Amino acid sequence: SPSAQSHIEFPAVLLNTSDGEIESEFHMYVQPQEHPLLSEFCTELTGITQVHQVDDGVPLHICLSQFSKWIQKIQKEKNIIFTSGHSSCAASEGKLCAFVTWSDWDLGVCLHYECKRKQLRKPDILNSWIDLRATYKVKVLSSWSITII
């Protein structure tokens, strides 16, 4: 159930799409508070281990606080502006930036329910992203043509 899932890792990179270079990285392991022991399935799926990763992680509220500080720092240092889908910010004000995910699961479902359950405020900046999987499906599937013989 999506309402019972927890984050155990919170990674992000700032990628310069002009040259493909990673300009900044954020990474933290998150201690699951409600179900502190990882299942064998979870470890096999993610490669994340209990000892030295999750056990050394931080609670989600600390992770989100550190993530927000990282975002503020790179916004100042790199002069970037995060798009919100309906934003009318001019590119001249800074370099446009967006979160990109593979599906809506992490930001739209899992993090939403986990923050709600734990009575945490999800950073507003994480309310808008580009779903690369949906974009890929539209681009690839719409370019296919099927001929029936």
CATH for the 9-76+93-137 domain, from 3.40.50.300, 3.40.50.970, 3.30.450.20, 3.30.420.10 = 3.30.420.10
Q: Read off the pLDDT of residues 60-106 as tens digits, 9 standing for 90 and up.
A: 999 999 999 999 999 999 999 987 655 555 556 788 899 999 999 99
Beta bridge partners of 41: none
Q: Give the pLDDT score at 52.
A: 87
